[in-house]
């Protein structure tokens, strides 16, 4: 006799009760609803949520799930922007948020060993108190967890100079689909012994294993930072500045773009006195030793003016720098005032294609009658076109899907890629084939099959 879904769910909960403490199991409708969504607009309810405290508990949960063919969706803080932690097939949401201890900050080897539930900003603050620096800075750093950052290989404004999360992962403890615990890498900076399994799991979006411990490389903390805002009447001039600055031997920590639509959004929101008759604003920051950053910010200021900036605003204090950054950081909140929902894309193109890409985005906005706000990390070509809409309007939602597909296709046509830092997840899985060669997708599927033969880990993500 076939069991009902409720009976199967009840049986699963009872078996899980034997593996974790009572407070680690969430089953009420209210609790399940909290784990049904992430930073996107998708919503799917899990059957149960488990919040383990130890690697051993994670291993036991996966062993059970694998034997019973139950989907498991690993989750950090749920701040992802690709639908990566959405339980589209129900099953178990495995929240790592309670595994949130900084296990060690090793100042001799300049590494940190952390559990996956540690907040990004928490680690940054802890190491900076010791004169060290963890550069990756996703916009969600005060909410996002390091486990989620590693699973998606998160980036942020400082990627131009410092790279993304993958550049800092030295070692991992990972629980495989069958419950086995794998340790790979460690504190050594150099390690070319065998395949680089750390990098295999970094960016794998929870489809190959569940990360339960991370060893991260740290850097010396920069002694000084200098920040400016450059206002450009022409987008082409702002884009050309990137090449001019890099060509002058200056590698800024950040070079952030706001297009004209983003500028209008922020000005209507904050009334900061931003000009509304220009095509681009760049926020640029350099860091390093005092004498070096003073020379570099002077040089960048001059290059901005030579490139066609109509105005350059320089911060002379940390407080003034925060004010300049306020405009860039306010973009997401400002968009919420325009429309109730947004689809945040995450394309990356060669720097030479930034201007054509922004022009294509504007044309797509006009074609589909949708407001699209573009901002992002112009220094490394990582743009974030955000399509604003109301998901209660089915016809508008259909146009959003069409516009998103057109943006992704344009990025690939211009030599770029589907994602620079958010991942593929659920949002972009159906576009994977326009970016990757069929053989590459086949190899990825074979790796997935080898590590997760029953397909329980984050099913429905990455692959069409």
132 forms beta bridges with 220
Whole-number Å distance between alpha carbons of 238 and 216: 35
In contact, 216 and 170? CB cutoff 8 Å:
yes
Whole-number Å distance between alpha carbons of 459 and 87: 8
In contact, 355 and 424? CB cutoff 8 Å:
no
The angle that helices 55-68 and 5-17 make with each other, rounded to 10 degrees, is 150
**pLDDT of res. 5:** 73
Half-sphere exposure of 252 (CA within 13 A, CB side): 28
Residue 10 confidence class, pLDDT cut points 50, 70, 90: confident
Tens of pLDDT, residues 224-268: 999 999 999 999 999 999 999 999 999 999 999 999 999 999 999
282 forms beta bridges with 230, 257
94 forms beta bridges with 50, 74
Tens of pLDDT, residues 383-422: 999 999 999 999 999 999 999 999 999 999 999 999 999 9
**pLDDT of res. 305:** 97
Whole-number Å distance between alpha carbons of 303 and 297: 10
Share of the chain above pLDDT 90, in %: 93
Whole-number Å distance between alpha carbons of 247 and 232: 20
Q: Which domains does the chain have, with CATH numbers?
A: 5-95 (3.30.43.10), 102-220 (3.30.465.10), 224-330 (3.30.70.2190), 339-435 (3.30.70.2740)
3-state SS assignment for residue 49: strand
**pLDDT of res. 269:** 92
Half-sphere exposure of 196 (CA within 13 A, CB side): 11
Among 180, 75, 9, 6, residue whose Cα is nearest residue 461: 75
30 forms beta bridges with none
Whole-number Å distance between alpha carbons of 263 and 261: 5
**pLDDT of res. 338:** 86
Q: Reply yes or no on whether the pLDDT at 456 is more than 70.
A: yes
Q: What contacts 320, CB < 8 A, 6 or more positions away?
A: 227
Residue 9 confidence class, pLDDT cut points 50, 70, 90: confident
**pLDDT of res. 461:** 98
Q: Reply yes or no on whether the pLDDT at 88 is more than 90.
A: yes
Whole-number Å distance between alpha carbons of 411 and 328: 23
In contact, 355 and 236? CB cutoff 8 Å:
yes
Q: Reply yes or no on whether the pLDDT at 1 is more than 50.
A: no
In contact, 436 and 419? CB cutoff 8 Å:
no
Tens of pLDDT, residues 103-162: 999 999 999 999 999 999 999 999 999 999 999 999 899 999 999 999 999 999 999 999
Q: Which CA distances in Å does 106 have to 40, 120, 205?
A: 36, 17, 28
**pLDDT of res. 3:** 60
Tens of pLDDT, residues 280-327: 999 999 999 999 999 999 999 999 999 999 999 999 999 999 999 999
Residue 6 confidence class, pLDDT cut points 50, 70, 90: confident
Tens of pLDDT, residues 201-226: 999 999 999 999 999 999 999 999 99
3-state SS assignment for residue 347: strand
Average pLDDT over the chain reads 95
Whole-number Å distance between alpha carbons of 395 and 14: 44
Cα end-to-end span (Å), the chain: 34
Tens of pLDDT, residues 165-198: 999 999 999 999 999 999 999 999 999 999 999 9
**pLDDT of res. 298:** 97
Whole-number Å distance between alpha carbons of 358 and 356: 6
- What is the β-pairing status of strands 132-133 and 92-95? unpaired
Mean pLDDT of 68-85: 96
Q: What contacts 403, CB < 8 A, 6 or more positions away?
A: 364, 365, 367, 368, 370, 372, 387
Q: Which CA distances in Å does 87 have to 50, 71, 210?
A: 13, 8, 15
Q: What contacts 181, CB < 8 A, 6 or more positions away?
A: 55, 59, 173, 174, 175, 212
Q: Reply yes or no on whether the pLDDT at 333 is more than 70.
A: yes
């Amino acid at each position: 006799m076939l069991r009902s879904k409720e009976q199967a769910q009840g049986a699963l909960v009872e078996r899980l009760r034997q593996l974790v403490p009572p407070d680690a199991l969430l089953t009420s409708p209210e609790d399940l609803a909290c784990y049904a969504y992430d930073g996107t607009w998708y919503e799917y309810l899990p059957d149960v949520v488990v919040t383990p405290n130890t690697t051993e508990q994670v291993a036991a949960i996966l062993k059970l799930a694998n034997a019973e063919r139950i989907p498991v969706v690993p989750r950090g803080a749920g701040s992802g922007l690709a639908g990566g932690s959405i339980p589209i097939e129900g099953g178990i949401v495995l929240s790592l948020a309670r595994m949130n201890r900084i296990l060690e900050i090793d100042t001799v080897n300049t590494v940190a060993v952390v559990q996956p539930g540690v907040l990004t900003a928490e680690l940054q603050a802890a190491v900076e108190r010791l004169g060290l620096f963890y550069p990756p800075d996703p916009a969600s750093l005060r909410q996002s967890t390091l486990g989620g950052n590693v699973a998606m290989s998160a980036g942020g404004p400082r990627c131009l100079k410092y790279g993304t999360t993958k550049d800092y992962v030295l070692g991992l403890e990972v629980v495989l689909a069958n419950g086995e615990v794998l340790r790979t890498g460690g504190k050594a900076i150099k390690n070319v012994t065998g395949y680089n399994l750390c990098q295999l799991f970094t960016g794998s979006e929870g489809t190959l294993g569940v990360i339960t411990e991370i060893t991260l490389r740290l850097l010396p903390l920069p002694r000084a930072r200098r920040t400016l805002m450059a206002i450009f009447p022409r987008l082409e001039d702002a884009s050309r500045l990137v090449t001019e600055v890099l060509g002058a031997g200056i590698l800024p920590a950040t070079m952030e773009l706001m297009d004209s639509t983003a500028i209008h959004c922020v000005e209507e929101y904050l009334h900061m006195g931003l000009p509304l008759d220009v095509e681009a604003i760049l926020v640029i920051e350099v860091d390093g030793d005092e004498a070096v950053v003073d020379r570099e910010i002077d040089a960048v200021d001059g290059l901005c003016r030579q490139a066609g900036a109509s105005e350059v605003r320089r911060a002379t204090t940390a407080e003034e720098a925060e004010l300049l950054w306020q405009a860039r950081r306010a973009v997401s909140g400002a968009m919420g005032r325009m429309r109730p929902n947004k689809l945040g894309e995450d394309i990356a193109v060669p720097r030479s294609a930034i201007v054509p890409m922004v022009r294509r985005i504007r044309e797509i906005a006009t074609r589909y009658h949708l407001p699209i706000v573009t901002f992002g990390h112009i220094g490394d070509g990582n743009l974030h076109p955000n399509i604003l809409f109301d998901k209660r309007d089915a016809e508008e939602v259909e146009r959003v899907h069409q516009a998103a597909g057109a943006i992704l296709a344009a990025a690939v046509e211009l030599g770029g890629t589907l994602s620079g830092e958010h991942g593929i997840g659920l949002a972009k899985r159906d576009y994977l084939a326009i970016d990757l060669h069929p053989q590459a997708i086949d190899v990825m599927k074979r790796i997935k099959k080898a590590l997760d033969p029953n397909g329980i880990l984050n099913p429905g993500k990455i692959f069409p």
